[in-house]
Structure 1
Amino acid sequence: MSLLRIALAPLGELHVETPLSFALLDRQGNFEREGRGILAELAQQAKGRTVEMVLHPSDSLLAELEFPPLPVARLSAAVRCAVEPLILGGSQPMRIAHGPRTEEGMVAMGWVEREKLDGLFHLLARQRLKIRGLYAAPFFLPVGNTRWCACLWDGYLVMRHGIEAGWVHPLPDSALTQMGDPPAGTDLLWLGDAPLERPELADSTHGAAALCWIGPAPSWGLQGGDSASAGDVRGWGKPLVCCAIALMVWVGGLNLHAGRLERQGKALQAQMTMRVQQAFPEIPVILNPLQQARQQRDVRLAGGDQATAATDFGRLVQATAEAMPFMAGSVKELTFEGSTLQLTLLQDANKPPGDGDWQTLLAQAGLDVSDTPAGWRLQARAGESSIATPGEELDE
């Protein structure tokens, strides 16, 4: 995939209309062209391309220190401790990143204000500009085993001396004087205008427009860690998706459990009805197995007048069940007293049909029906000598 590389302005001054320098590289990493554009224009240029950015030198705070061999997790902690004395005000407000430990034991590291970095990521996200990497200022410069590379950028000396290492200095002339000559066997490639104190460096500026963009990216940058990259702004999207999936699984499991309990309840109800019918075959209709079984038990134990009452109760229940089939499974309690049957219903009881046929059937059976706050009250009509089932004529 071809590559778009962008050089950022100082983060404290960056906004949507800030013109930024950029370069396009082909799939082989060869320079195609460079230009300037605002973020909205760069978002158009980025379509179908990988995007990388380098920070302005004023935001590129770098160091290189020596460390003993350490596991990766402990090396990160050691780097944070080592950087602490170099940062005014402590490391908490800073985003710190570092590269791998080299064979010589050196570790390159950089840091930037977390608040400024978050502002950059939010700005890029609003422009839908996704980036693969965010690096310090030196890391677009070319590099080789026998070559250092340097240039001037807005008055800062920017130098790269390895795949993973580089540095930035605000006083170029002083820095070049202190640096002296590169190590033996190493050449210094200077790109662009030379410092006043080192005019001889201008001889190596041929092809600078292309070379300052084509260097290989390091293995570490400031786009990861505890700050989200603009290419993958970590908001609430993924946590919400995970919560939604967990909720769906929980609801599905709850429905399965409720369905299993419902089937078990219906099986238990059918088993109780069958056992009551076997024990008391004289009961014509079973609406509430447990209560009707208790009533029949009490009648058998008492004998006498309660046997007649049981017969009337059975006929009343049978007439009610045949005229009101919609009450099946909705009766919570049956209360029979004298010639009155009180039905106490469940909260989710079925509603009666609106055609009124069931009331006609009850009237034919010689029953008066009235609704109560708890359910229905059925009573043999005054003067009726017996209760008929619906469809039968009453004896006169």
Structure 2
Amino acid sequence: MKPAGLRLALPRLDRLQPDAVAAYAVLAGGQWQPGQASLAEIARRYGMLRAEAVLHPESCALVAVSMPPLPEKRRRAAVTGEVEALALGPVESLALAYGPRQADGAVPLAWLPQQALQTAMAQLRAIGLRLQALYPAPFFLPVQGPAPAMIQVDGWQMVRTGTASGLVLPPGAPLPAEAAAAAMPPPALCWSGPAPGWSLPVPGAHAGRPAARWGLAAALLAGAMLAWLGGLSLQAARLATHGKALQDHMRARVQDVFPELPIVVNPLQQARQQREARLAGASEEAGEPDFARMLRAASASLDGLQGQVQTLRYQDGVLFIGLRGGPPPSESQAAAVAERAQAAGLSIAPHAGGWQVHARQESLAARPAAGQGNGASRTGR
């Protein structure tokens, strides 16, 4: 049956080598199956499993101190003060962990040198073992009711007094009262205890699963980007629709106010020009600017001009009308346009994707040359 988990009892941290022998157990079929092998062999067989470990009792201190009920922030400060007094050194150099306050007010504390822990974790990763959790020595033992579970390792006595609490006693030390009835469980049960719910800090605990973490982050980022792009496209479409509606409204208003304009390409500019002409007292005929008169007459001579004009350019009495595209006019179409334009006193001929319009000489002699020499350019939007 395929193993589902790995538990290790580490040797002393100063003896961590690939060939160091360690006790271990693998979870298979709901049972922990114990064994012994070198760390390198354990890594070869089970390095892909989720691994957790207990420290050798000589590598990590484990004590219980009595504390009143405190908020988490104040409890952290109280724990730091207790460890500083017990460790006889600065806590900044220690890897520190503590468990929940027990019913009797005791809080379990554990610590070891930070540098020793970092070195050990780096050595285990180099061997091929990546720990997800690291506990003090007793916390793989079962929790078996009123009689605590106890084992000995290298003369040290390890007692698990509860799910989150335990004791580590040096060789020769008497058992305290709460551990007086401790009993050694069968070997198969020595690895079966529940996790205590708190762990010493493990550098790189999730380094073995970057793909899952980054895959989720990438998926969330991609979803956010798609939502943002969708919103941006919707907003752009709304703005385009609003802009076109506004442009159409402006053209309609200009044509309502200045009905003499046959085509409105640039509403603002054409409205300004018509307003200035009216303020100057220009009449609709004699005083009408050549550009407006020529444009009106050209519109009457050219079929289907509305909506097809791309540019208008008026220079030195010549009007150039650029269209948006389409095939050039045939000779018969050009001749028909020229005939209609002649009746209006204009000369119209195809020119560079559009039409070129200018007044016939006899028409120029009969009308004032107002606006000659002034250039104007309009571009369709």
Q: Using structure 1 for the length normalisation, give the TM-score.
A: 0.65
> Cα offset for 1:343?
9.0
> Cα offset for 1:102?
1.2
| Residues 7-22 of structure 1 aligned to structure 2 (within 5 Å) | 7-9=9-11, 20-22=22-24
Contact 2:17 2:123 in 1 (8 A): no
Selected match of 2:259 from 281, 295, 302: 281
> Cα offset for 1:24?
2.5
**Distance across 2 between alignment mates of 1:52 and 1:91:** 25
**Distance across 2 between alignment mates of 1:110 and 1:253:** 53
- The secondary structure found in structure 1 opposite 2:91 is coil
**Distance across 2 between alignment mates of 1:297 and 1:77:** 81
Task: Check 1:341–1:151 CA distance in 2 against 1; reply closer, same or farther (3 A cut).
Answer: farther
**Distance across 1 between alignment mates of 2:179 and 2:45:** 44
What residue in structure 2 maps to residue 159 of structure 1?
Answer: 158
Task: Check 1:231–1:309 CA distance in 2 against 1; reply closer, same or farther (3 A cut).
Answer: closer
**Distance across 2 between alignment mates of 1:384 and 1:19:** 113
Contact 1:125 1:231 in 2 (8 A): no
| Residues 91-130 of structure 1 aligned to structure 2 (within 5 Å) | 91-92=91-92, 94-112=94-112, 116-117=117-118, 120=121
**Distance across 2 between alignment mates of 1:92 and 1:359:** 93
> Cα offset for 1:68?
0.6
What residue in structure 1 maps to residue 308 of structure 2?
Answer: 325
What residue in structure 2 maps to residue 220 of structure 1?
Answer: 198
| CA shift digits 1:81-130 (9 cap, x unpaired) | 32234457633454432111112211002234556459838966996967
- The secondary structure found in structure 1 opposite 2:138 is helix
Task: Check 1:151–1:249 CA distance in 2 against 1; reply closer, same or farther (3 A cut).
Answer: same
Contact 1:17 1:39 in 2 (8 A): no
Contact 1:147 1:187 in 2 (8 A): yes
Task: Check 1:3–1:283 CA distance in 2 against 1; reply closer, same or farther (3 A cut).
Answer: same
**Distance across 2 between alignment mates of 1:184 and 1:87:** 24
1:187 is aligned to 2:170: no
> Cα offset for 1:272?
0.9
> Cα offset for 1:9?
4.6
**Distance across 2 between alignment mates of 1:299 and 1:41:** 96
- The secondary structure found in structure 2 opposite 1:311 is helix
| CA shift digits 1:218-265 (9 cap, x unpaired) | 1222368x9754576697666565555444443333333222222211
> Cα offset for 1:41?
1.9
**Distance across 2 between alignment mates of 1:103 and 1:310:** 98
Aligned-residue CA RMSD (Å) = 4.7
**Distance across 1 between alignment mates of 2:191 and 2:53:** 11
Q: Which amino acid aligns with 2:103?
A: E
Q: Using structure 2 for the length normalisation, give the TM-score.
A: 0.67
Unpaired runs of 5+ residues, structure 1, are 192-206, 345-350, 371-376, 387-396
Percent of paired sites with the same residue: 32
Q: Which amino acid aligns with 1:257?
A: Q
Contact 1:62 1:109 in 2 (8 A): yes
**Distance across 2 between alignment mates of 1:5 and 1:92:** 29
1:38 is aligned to 2:42: yes
Contact 2:148 2:183 in 1 (8 A): yes
| Residues 334-345 of structure 1 aligned to structure 2 (within 5 Å) | 336-341=314-319
Contact 2:317 2:358 in 1 (8 A): no
Q: Alignment length, in residue pairs?
A: 337
1:306 is aligned to 2:288: yes
Contact 1:366 1:381 in 2 (8 A): no
| Residues 1-396 of structure 1 aligned to structure 2 (within 5 Å) | 3-9=5-11, 20-26=22-28, 30-36=31-37, 37-44=41-48, 46=49, 51-87=51-87, 90-92=90-92, 94-112=94-112, 116-117=117-118, 120=121, 131=132, 133-144=133-144, 145-152=146-153, 155=154, 157-163=156-162, 164-168=164-168, 172-173=170-171, 176=172, 179-183=173-177, 186-189=180-183, 207=186, 209-222=187-200, 228-229=205-206, 242-301=220-279, 302-303=282-283, 304-315=286-297, 322=305, 325=308, 327=310, 336-341=314-319, 357=328, 365-366=348-349, 368-369=351-352, 380=357
Q: Which amino acid aligns with 2:43?
A: L
> Cα offset for 1:271?
0.9
What residue in structure 1 maps to residue 371 of structure 2?
Answer: none
Contact 2:11 2:22 in 1 (8 A): yes
> Cα offset for 1:382?
9.5
> Cα offset for 1:312?
1.0
Bigger Rg, which one: 2
Contact 1:66 1:106 in 2 (8 A): yes
Task: Check 1:310–1:41 CA distance in 2 against 1; reply closer, same or farther (3 A cut).
Answer: same
**Distance across 1 between alignment mates of 2:237 and 2:305:** 29
**Distance across 2 between alignment mates of 1:3 and 1:180:** 35
Contact 2:262 2:295 in 1 (8 A): no
**Distance across 1 between alignment mates of 2:17 and 2:140:** 23
Task: Check 1:342–1:383 CA distance in 2 against 1; reply closer, same or farther (3 A cut).
Answer: closer
| CA shift digits 1:299-343 (9 cap, x unpaired) | 34433343443121345678699499383xxx6xx6634334589
**Distance across 1 between alignment mates of 2:18 and 2:278:** 93
**Distance across 2 between alignment mates of 1:311 and 1:17:** 103
Unpaired runs of 5+ residues, structure 2, are 338-347, 364-381
Q: Which amino acid aligns with 1:107?
A: V
- The secondary structure found in structure 2 opposite 1:264 is helix
Contact 2:141 2:149 in 1 (8 A): no
